[in-house]
Structure 1
């Protein structure tokens, strides 16, 4: 039976900054290597190329960053469902639009619409208003992650792409940590100011945070090396950027058509990629908000629940201990991306990540000791790096097929979102599987095993596509 919720829900209170995690601001501190020497960050020995990469890093990553409502418990679930519907519906159309419209026009415009919707949350009067806004918010957010990854794939070459993709993906971890501090600060300092409760101020502040970044995006998003017009790249740097992507065979967007859909859907690689992407580990994030990927792990979401069942820790400790997983996820994502770039090998590194994921899932599936649970929940987040790694593999496999690359990423993200809307509710049921979630981790172990086979198959099929497209040029 539904009960009236008398305290604000973290999902409703923090939806603005939590759902927007993938597009929060992330900056990269980069040091320029000495002339004619390689650095750990930029492997190029050409001074001009290192300078170009420095500018791209700085400008791209700076952007690709309820008492009052008397809500019933079931209505919170509807909030999440409506957001997921909007997000799922919007991704593929956004990727198609991105092949016709400059990213510097499309992405900032959608960012502004997101900020406006966020402001509207501060004025809602009842749950029906929230329903409408949640649907619109999902639509507004859908372009950012896939669009950001597509933008990175347009500029960076195989020797540097995975590291940048991992950093962009890791922005979610930093955003999660920041959102908690922001929420606490708002409640402490603004609750009741001008007669507004703290949660309404939170939406106002989050909207204000995103407006300047969106406006800046009109000038700073570099579009494509083939048509960039940004102020911070000289003519020589634009020519260098174009020559870099031409050297690896990367082509400009021509516009997704029906022929593009038919071509993509006819490739076995695409179906294996989508299935593998749906199983990407995504163990970091609040369990009440959407995750980008589906089945392989559900991770730190339930670590806190397990800790509560032990009756050994204070409320503060239960909240603090799982946050160590955020740091592991952040370091793991960047480290595996860095190793992959240095080795120029996506498949082998991805396979190692899958094996680590399988190991932690099996440990958690076998009703382990307390030490085993801690190991599983705290080590597993390092496997989140698998997502940006296989996106990098996609970009390199379809380097000369830009429109298909953008479309396939949108398709994979959409399928992951679709399954995430219902499958975790079955395999990680908090009503029947406490405290170990055995069924969920058994399922996750099976998915990880399938993923190991899938990543090897992707390597094989990917080489065939690269060979076939190379033959077509001859």
Structure 2
């Protein structure tokens, strides 16, 4: 008889106070299915379920699971979007502020713009992996992430006080340091709550919410420049950082309530005891292992395996091939675009990225395939880089190449979703692989922008776009290499496919179908 133990935190202790007694609940098959109802994928769906489910998967599920998933969306997913949008605003704001008066006001006529990114990347580099270790060692994300966001808010606003580039270098370093927890932290949390037919589009929309932030930043800068420039003696580009910091504070505070941690240790007040148990059962059915306290021996074991290292190749190489951040420099150099237009035109590319994230993420969820859609996502950026490498083409072709490159935006979130599925046997690996991958990416980004896209050469770079083409080709090869290794491991360990289309070991498939459960009637009194 299979049983399920009370929910434990990362340190294997029950992290919620409770005066209740754990009782064995023996249920008939019908009662168990009523309480832990999962959507039967073989059951024919109604026309409304098919129609609504094609728009958003939750509407195509059975009532119990539909209500649960929509509840996750309402609190966890929407909050994760808002959090990343605010963080990406800051990254976009530097570029938008630079072309909206910051360059002239602070006399930034050298490599200062790239150095702002370099110092941010250095902070992100130093913080990314340690922050994931902190979370995997037992620190609740519902405490750690909002605390980092509050500090980050103050740092962003302080840029408006700077009179030259030097203090901005230090501020950008610490902004990167405190921001480094957000992206890999939410990737780990989302992957711990959503099933494979839900995760792809949500990770895509989560990461591509940054594109929405870039759109909003362009509109915000255009609006602030026209309406607030010089108001109270403050330049329009400074207002961008002030507004960004102000709106991020209430979002950070909401994180203490909205972030649910993990199914096995959640104390979220918007989930009752049955819903917490239901979340655990869903992840058991998928075969996704819950977090445990990370030890040094476990960390050594993770990085002794070739699997994480092979995965880092497609994760990082594709990152090096991005060049959309230099679009507005070309618009400025053309000479016939206004400041408002320089800020607004790139938002069309951001819109393309968001639309493609939803479409490609949905298709990858529906087909249960990640790597094919990853390869297809490489095509637009490769085509755009080839056109820009030629360079001496009509202005419309350069415009097309820059905008078309945004259609490759789903590649990175699909790669992350693939990681959640290929490393679902270890929550620690899922967290560390993204944190370490970001560390490598930002370490490389600290110098690749200076080498391949030096600001004085803008907008025609000697070999930046040629390098981008090479990175796209290497990314495609690395995807196929990792796929080959995954297939080899599946054969070696005689893994079988579960009902979600994921390969799991036989013992995990058995554990995913308990007929009898052990339930803990916890009271809603949790230690935050």
Asked whether the two chains share a fold, i.e. TM above 0.5, the reply is: yes
Q: Distance in 2 between matches of 1:72 and 1:373?
A: 25
Q: Distance in 1 between matches of 2:158 and 2:348?
A: 34
> Alpha carbons of 1:160 and 1:438: their partners in 2 closer, same or farther (altered >3 Å)?
farther
1:37 maps to 2:62: no
Q: Distance in 2 between matches of 1:133 and 1:430?
A: 21
Q: CA deviation at 1:325?
A: 1.2
Aligned residues: 427
CA contact (8 A) 2:331 2:337 kept: no
Q: Distance in 2 between matches of 1:263 and 1:235?
A: 35
Q: Distance in 1 between matches of 2:47 and 2:255?
A: 31
The aligned counterpart of 1:89 is 126
The aligned counterpart of 1:395 is 420
CA contact (8 A) 2:119 2:172 kept: yes
The aligned counterpart of 1:162 is 200
The aligned counterpart of 2:407 is 382
CA contact (8 A) 2:329 2:458 kept: no
Post-superposition Cα deviations, 1:343-374, rounded to whole Å, max 9, x if no partner, equal: 00001111222244333333333346325434
The aligned counterpart of 1:411 is 436
**Alignment match of 1:361 (pick from 385, 388, 404):** 385
Q: Distance in 2 between matches of 1:440 and 1:69?
A: 27
Q: CA deviation at 1:142?
A: 0.8
CA contact (8 A) 2:115 2:169 kept: yes
The aligned counterpart of 2:524 is none
Q: CA deviation at 1:172?
A: 0.8
The aligned counterpart of 1:24 is none
CA contact (8 A) 2:329 2:459 kept: no
Aligned pairs (5 A) from 1:446-461: 446-461=470-485
1:107 maps to 2:131: no
**Alignment match of 1:238 (pick from 254, 276, 281):** 276
Q: Distance in 2 between matches of 1:297 and 1:451?
A: 12
> Alpha carbons of 1:189 and 1:378: their partners in 2 closer, same or farther (altered >3 Å)?
closer
The aligned counterpart of 2:249 is 211
CA contact (8 A) 1:228 1:238 kept: yes
Aligned pairs (5 A) from 1:207-356: 207-280=245-318, 293-294=319-320, 296-299=321-324, 301-302=326-327, 305=330, 308-309=333-334, 320-356=344-380
1:369 is paired with a residue whose SS is coil
Pick the structure with greater CA Rg: 2
Q: Distance in 1 between matches of 2:328 and 2:155?
A: 33
CA contact (8 A) 2:128 2:181 kept: yes
Q: CA deviation at 1:51?
A: 1.1
1:146 maps to 2:184: yes
Query: Mean Cα displacement is larger for which, 140-149 or 259-268?
Result: 259-268
Query: Mean Cα displacement is larger for which, 385-394 or 72-81?
Result: 72-81
1:133 maps to 2:171: yes
CA contact (8 A) 2:215 2:344 kept: no
Q: Distance in 2 between matches of 1:401 and 1:90?
A: 22
- Backbone CA RMSD of aligned residues: 2.9
2:57 is paired with a residue whose SS is coil
Post-superposition Cα deviations, 1:116-158, rounded to whole Å, max 9, x if no partner, equal: 2234334446544333322211111111111111111111111
5+ residue gaps, structure 2: 1-44, 83-101, 496-503, 509-528
1:59 maps to 2:97: no
> Alpha carbons of 1:276 and 1:125: their partners in 2 closer, same or farther (altered >3 Å)?
same
1:422 is paired with a residue whose SS is helix
> Alpha carbons of 1:205 and 1:266: their partners in 2 closer, same or farther (altered >3 Å)?
same
> Alpha carbons of 1:241 and 1:368: their partners in 2 closer, same or farther (altered >3 Å)?
farther
CA contact (8 A) 2:108 2:165 kept: yes
What TM-score, normalized by structure 2, do the two folds share? Answer: 0.73
What TM-score, normalized by structure 1, do the two folds share? Answer: 0.81
CA contact (8 A) 1:251 1:402 kept: yes
Query: Mean Cα displacement is larger for which, 97-106 or 129-138?
Result: 129-138
2:215 is paired with a residue whose SS is helix
Q: CA deviation at 1:429?
A: 3.9
1:425 maps to 2:454: no
Q: Distance in 2 between matches of 1:238 and 1:411?
A: 30
Q: CA deviation at 1:270?
A: 1.8
The aligned counterpart of 1:14 is none
Query: Mean Cα displacement is larger for which, 115-124 or 406-415?
Result: 115-124
Q: Distance in 2 between matches of 1:166 and 1:426?
A: 30
5+ residue gaps, structure 1: 1-32, 281-292
Post-superposition Cα deviations, 1:380-438, rounded to whole Å, max 9, x if no partner, equal: 21111110001001000111200011111111111111111111322234545753x46
The aligned counterpart of 2:467 is 443
1:49 maps to 2:65: yes
CA contact (8 A) 1:273 1:458 kept: yes
Query: Mean Cα displacement is larger for which, 319-328 or 138-147?
Result: 319-328
Query: Mean Cα displacement is larger for which, 227-236 or 342-351?
Result: 227-236
CA contact (8 A) 1:187 1:198 kept: yes
> Alpha carbons of 1:106 and 1:319: their partners in 2 closer, same or farther (altered >3 Å)?
closer
